[in-house]
Structure 1
Amino acid sequence: MKISIKHIFIIFLLFFVSFAKAQKTTINFIENDYKLALEQSKTSKKPIFVMVYATWCPHCNKMKATVLKDPAVIDFFNANYINVMMDGESPTGKDFMKKFRVTSFPTFLYLNEKETHLYSTGGEFTPEEFISESKKALNPNTQLPYLESQFNDDIRNSESCLLYLNALRKSIDRDKTDEIVAKYLSTQPKDQLFTAINWKIIAFGVNKLNTKEFDFVLDHQSDFAKVASPKRVEAKIVSVVNQSLKHNMESLDSIGYSKNRILAKNSNLTKVDSLVFKLDLQMYEACKCWDKYKQTTLESVQKWAWNDYKTINEITKIYIQHINDKEALQSAVTWAKRSVELNDSAESNFSLARLYNKTKDKKTAITYARKTKAIIVAMGWDTKEIDQFYLDLGIK
């Protein structure tokens, strides 16, 4: 059977198309070269999509392994964007993060050829959600510059304010939300502040403790509870406290932490006081402020941790390692006994044994050491640590 040149050409063409399609199994990412992506964007007029990641980030790795390998996602991004993958811990990645004020992983940033910030978000998504979010960066009406201009054209407009805040709070510019809320609320008549949409604006946009807007929420909790609910108002206050104090903790800003702590306590909410106690423990441990750690625990363990054996065990470990005050150690013994009552585990008994040893009560320390080892042996766990403690106590 003779095969014409035409038939050969058709076969070759089909093979080439099939091969080309098979090749599109990944997004065409440029690795760690934002300048090259910018040049390609200027030439192609396509916007730039940047994923900023860290190798240790589980959310980044999950997105890479699943969503970014989805065929629909691959086709969408290859068709619509110049795609860049930036390792946030590389030198070029660090420069990029500093330039665009990226502070978390993964961050997904959308820019045009003029480096205008069109849209951004972060975290984990399904393929459908990821495409939906990325389409907003292509739509002029959902891009941040347009939403900002709409808000600025009529600051009193609650709908445009809410739309702008909703985009901002997911973006790298989320720290602007408090400023936006302040501008908006300043235009509202006092007798019309307590509405459902104003509460949404506050819930979306108030994120800092040291602002007039947060003070306003504290002073009018009952008013906002009527248009939202007491639980939602309380949850918002707790969230703001948590964000602000954790931000101080991450930077070891003890002065800022102390100031914000005072503001937080003004809420007079039980959940806030409980949260502040736990954050205090983390902050003072991180700063190695053992006197403050001791003072906080002596004042508050029985109030905020008396039924929480995990927290008690963490506190007793700190006392064993860093606290030498005799009276404080006796208090720690009381807490450790409570932990054993709540959870008669090897960890609880071992902490109590070590505390008794530190307070020079060797006899009682041996009693709880033996109990600890019996639990460990029964569970089939490694006895190395308790065996060493046996040697320290002189137990045969």
Structure 2
Amino acid sequence: MKKFGSAKNSKLQFEKEYNDSQKTPSMKFTIKHTFFIAFLFFISFAKAQKTAINFFENDYKSALEKAKSSKKPIFIMVYAAWCSHCSKMKSTVLKEPNVIAFYNSNFINVMMDSETPIGKEFMKKYNIKSFPIFLFLDEKETHLYSTGGEFTTEEFIAEAQKVLNPNTQIPTLEKKFNEDISSPENCIMYLSVLRKSIDSDKSDEVTARYLATQSKDQLISPINWKIVAFGVNELNSKGFETIISHQNDFAKAASPKRVEAKILNVVKKTLTQNINYLDSIGYSKNRILAKNINLAKADSLVFKLDLQMYEVTKSWKKYEQTTLESVEKWAWNDYQTINNISKIYIDHITDKEALKKSILWAKRSVEINNSAENTLLLARLYNKINDKKSAIENAQKAKNIIIAMGWDVKDVNQFLKELGTK
């Protein structure tokens, strides 16, 4: 058996050597060469997996030309250097491999700096008012979809997938809505993408057109509440008038809290936008509408927004008048708001009677929260009316609190020095 096994092994060895001998040097080289090519292909393939989205940097014109030739839609991220949300998206989600692969495969990509000349022109053209904005256009520059803010990786890809589906593109949803304006389903689908887009200003008009098709019997329903909740954003709009005039009815269809929250949201959004654009005339008009709601929470909100508006416009007389009229009504238990008012009075108000009134508010702040900050503000207000004794007394109280907390007394010591103490 052992001998037979040896003979068999010898035969196999002979066949192997014979087969090898039949391979020419060129064949052996070809095999090695094939393996080498395969290895190079693998390396090239690995390198082909991009480590970044292929962005045209501030070059929309070139991107548009490439979109026309490739028939791919354009993705534009509009950002500002100071925008923390922009920086976070750029440093996290936009560097994810699956995001990179998806956007490089499906879009021509542009990174647009809003502070460059071309960026400013682009923002004006597409009515961009916030950052970051993610805008999708086709090769004819038709607005297909847009959104903004921060997203997770999965959300960011899901948003882009809506662009690739004609049924979820803005032009399709707009067309369906216009074909049957009375359809709540068409309206809400259109509003759901419109309200987060660069054309969100159109939401109020769309909502008003839909509501005009509804009879009194049809108006109050859960889906119509959802439509006004989605689509109403402006105080001066038919939709907001509808909410106010049917507030109790909508409260039954939704809930009193949800209706109240929507009203306050519209008040805040409208007036804040006026503040951001320093639109004093628009603010005054919308403020009247907000006050006419006769809702205590809205009045309280308007008071705080008034203070913001008068501060950014440096309207110190209006600031003084508003605080004298309303602090005890709307901020009496809010020491943080009182503190902010105290700081403004120290820096900008000179009327002695108004300053004496502000001391009463500052005392209330100390009653609510006996902190070093609150007490030191009270001391500074006393100093503003030249009551040195009370200023020193309260500054020393503030210093004692600071020492007890183990904090730095440098600032309070400097103030005491200014007051003439050692």
**TM-score normalised by the shorter chain: which range applies?**
over 0.9
1:118 corresponds to which of 144, 148, 163:
144
Please point out which of 29, 34, 38 is paired with 1:4: 29
Secondary structure of 1:12 counterpart: helix
SS of alignment partner, residue 110 of structure 1: strand
1:92 aligns with 2:118: yes
Q: 1:17 aligned to 16, 37, 42, which one?
A: 42
Q: Normalising by structure 2, what TM-score? A: 0.91
Partner of residue 219, structure 1: 245
Show the counterpart of 1:195: 221
User: Structure 1 residue 32 and structure 2 residue 79: aligned?
Assistant: no
Q: Return the offset for 1:103.
A: 1.1
In structure 1, the residue matched to 2:109 is: 83
Q: Does 1:173 align with 2:199?
A: yes
2:17 equivalent in structure 1: none
Instruction: Name the structure 1 match of 2:409.
Output: 383
Q: Distance in 1 between matches of 2:31 and 2:360?
A: 92
Q: Name the structure 2 match of 1:140.
A: 166
1:278 partnered with 2:330:
no
Shift in Å at residue 162 of structure 1? Answer: 0.5
Task: Report the identity percentage.
Answer: 64
Shift of 1:373: 2.1
Other structure's SS at 1:50 match: strand
User: Once structures 1 and 2 are overlaid, which stretch shifts more, 338-347 or 230-239?
Assistant: 338-347
- Which amino acid in structure 1 is aligned with residue 326 of structure 2? S
Amino acid at match of 2:123: M
| Cα distance, 1:100 vs structure 2 | 1.3
Looking at structure 2, the residues matched to 205 and 258 of structure 1 have their Cα atoms a distance apart, in angstroms, of 24
Equivalences for residues 195-344 of structure 1 within 5 A: 195-344=221-370
Letter in 2 for 1:284: Y
Q: Deviations over 1:168-188 (max 9, x none)?
A: 001000000011011111111
Which structure would you say has the larger Rg?
2
Cα deviation per residue 1:49-102 (whole Å; 9 max; x = unaligned)? 111111111111111111111111111111101111111111111111111111
Q: Secondary structure at the match of 1:49?
A: strand
CA shift for structure 1 position 382: 3.7
Output one character per residue of 1:12-66: Cα deviation in whole Å (capped at 9) or x when no partner.
3333333343351111111110001001101111111111111111111111111
Distance (Å, rounded) in 2 between the aligned partners of 1:66 and 1:391: 50
Deviates more, 1:221-230 or 1:339-348: 339-348
Q: Secondary structure at the match of 2:146?
A: strand
Larger mean Cα displacement after TM superposition, 379-388 or 306-315: 379-388
String of CA shifts for 1:353-385, please: whole Å, max 9, x gaps: 011111121111111111222233343434343
Compute the RMSD of aligned alpha carbons. 1.5
Between stretches 298-307 and 223-232, larger displacement belongs to 298-307
Give structure 1 regions of 4+ aligned residues with deviation exceeding 4 angstroms: none
TM-score after normalising by structure 1: 0.97
* Alignment match of 1:55 (pick from 81, 89, 98): 81
Displacement of 1:6:
4.1
Report the 3-state secondary structure (helix = DSSP H, G, I; strand = E; otherwise coil) of the residue aligned with 2:164: coil
The answer to whether 1:185 aligns with 2:211 is yes
Separation in structure 1 between the aligned mates of residue 143 and residue 31 of structure 2, nearest angstrom: 51
Task: Tell me the distance in 1 between the aligned counterparts of 2:349 and 2:295.
Answer: 30
Deviation sequence 1:267-290 (CA, Å, 0-9, x none) = 222221111111111111111111
Q: How many residues align?
A: 396
1 CA distance for matches of 2:223 and 2:387? 63
Distance in 2, Cα, partners of 1:354 & 1:224: 50
- Aligned partner of 1:53: which letter? Y
- Which structure 2 segments of 5+ residues have no match? 1-19
C-alpha distance in 2, partners of 1:244/1:221?
Answer: 19
- Give 5+ residue unaligned stretches, structure 1: none
Q: Distance in 2 between matches of 1:22 and 1:93?
A: 32
